[in-house]
């Protein structure tokens, strides 16, 4: 019969073990009470395509990078804009985590909010995703670029490390993308939101779902591919969640109505801890994007926000 050998413990060992166990439990307790969750990713990139409609996306034949993200990530084609389905209102909701009744922007423009903010942060603006990242990670590198200038009024530029407006984006989108690549490679931002405007302009001039519309989407797809490569070059691709979405859709040569073509835009999640090849079933609204970015970065969602994280998209 084999003898079973047990480790001998002295009287001094027991207090040491108890102290170690208590220390571990204390760490977990403090972490839990702090309200902070474990981040799902070290970096998030939100690529915003103004006027990107979910309707008839199958007709887009030359978007291999977008297709790759969709097939390898979590997707819904039914993310709804807030009302009205226009740009200023929905860019505000995308970054501020609430609807127009709280952030106050109610028309297509966002240079001036039409209602008082329901809550103001220290910068005199409703809290945005950039604001709460700055509070949670004071030294974090964050960036936002845009081709539609009014976006600067809804992101809280005082809370962002790098802000740049690219005028004439439709004619210079490839040149602008070179600057985005450089920024990613050099700064490795915790959060970066490049926002493109030309697709919306093409919809207004040539029509949504026209050949010109899909040709411009193909140009944006090439830029998305360059952003992906820049993340790889920077060595942060494997630790990044990539989000691609639009502010609204459109039909004919306009938007802003109750038509579902105007209301729905794709929402794609890809990357670190994102489910692969998954169709999101839960209803998603524009202001859920900010909440999901906060969730991915392990940041507590402000009580004044109304958005909910799309947890279903993650492993």
Tens-place pLDDT, residues 137-176? 999 999 999 999 999 999 999 999 999 999 877 789 999 9
Using an 8 Å Cβ cutoff, are 43 and 239 in contact? yes
Tell me the mean pLDDT in the region 169-195.
Answer: 95
Q: What is the mean pLDDT of residues 32-41?
A: 69
Residue 171 pLDDT: 83
Q: Would you call 112 helix, strand, or coil by DSSP?
A: coil
Q: Please report whether residue 173 resides in a domain.
A: yes
Torsions phi, psi for 171 (to 5 deg) = -85, -20
CA dist., res. 247 & res. 189, Å (int): 23
| Number of other CB atoms surrounding residue 294 within 10 Å | 24
Give me the number of domains the chain comprises. Answer: 1
Full residue range of the structural domain in which residue 59 is found = 40-313
pLDDT at 222 over 60: yes
pLDDT at 179 over 90: yes
Average pLDDT, the chain: 91
Alpha helix segments (H runs only) across the chain: 13-33, 64-71, 87-96, 100-103, 129-136, 169-187, 198-206, 211-233, 260-263, 288-296
Least confident of 4-8, 82-86, 102-106, 252-256: 4-8
Residue 19 lies in a domain: no
- In angstroms, the CA 273 to CA 27 distance is 25
Q: Is 20 a member of any domain? A: no
pLDDT at 254: 97
Q: Would you say residue 22 lies in a domain?
A: no
Please check whether residue 1 lies inside any domain of the structure: no
pTM above 0.75, yes or no: yes
Confirm whether 14 is domain-assigned. Answer: no
CATH of the domain at 154: 3.40.720.10
Q: Judge whether residue 101 has pLDDT over 50.
A: yes
163/151 Cα distance (integer angstroms): 11
């Amino acid at each position: 019969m084999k003898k079973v050998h047990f480790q001998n413990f002295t009287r001094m060992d027991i207090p040491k073990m108890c102290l170690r166990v208590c220390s571990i439990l204390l760490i977990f307790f403090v972490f839990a009470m702090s309200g902070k969750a474990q981040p799902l990713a070290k970096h998030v990139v939100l690529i915003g395509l103004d006027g990107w409609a979910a309707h008839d996306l199958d007709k887009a034949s030359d978007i291999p990078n977008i297709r790759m993200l969709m097939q390898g990530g979590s997707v819904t084609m039914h993310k709804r804009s807030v009302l009205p389905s226009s740009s200023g209102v929905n860019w505000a909701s995308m970054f501020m985590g609430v609807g127009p009744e709280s952030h106050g922007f109610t028309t297509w423009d966002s240079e001036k909010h039409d209602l008082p903010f329901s809550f103001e942060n220290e910068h005199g603006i409703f809290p945005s995703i950039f604001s709460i990242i700055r509070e949670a990670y004071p030294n974090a590198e964050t960036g936002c670029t845009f081709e539609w200038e009014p976006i600067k009024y809804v992101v809280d530029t005082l809370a962002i490390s790098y802000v740049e407006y690219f005028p004439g984006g439709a004619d210079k989108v490839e040149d602008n993308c070179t600057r985005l690549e450089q920024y990613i490679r050099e700064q490795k931002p915790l959060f970066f939101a490049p926002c493109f405007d030309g697709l919306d302009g093409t919809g207004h001039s040539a029509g949504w779902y026209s050949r010109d519309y899909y040709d411009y989407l193909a140009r944006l797809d090439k830029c998305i591919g360059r952003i992906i490569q820049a993340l790889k070059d920077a060595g942060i691709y494997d630790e990044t969640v990539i989000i691609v979405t639009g502010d609204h859709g459109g039909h004919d040569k306009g938007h802003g109505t109750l038509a579902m073509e105007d209301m729905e835009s794709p929402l794609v999640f890809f990357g670190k801890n994102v489910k692969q090849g998954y169709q999101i079933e839960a209803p998603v609204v524009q202001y859920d994007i900010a909440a999901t970015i906060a969730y991915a970065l392990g940041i507590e969602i402000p009580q004044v926000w109304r958005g909910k994280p799309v947890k279903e998209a993650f492993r």
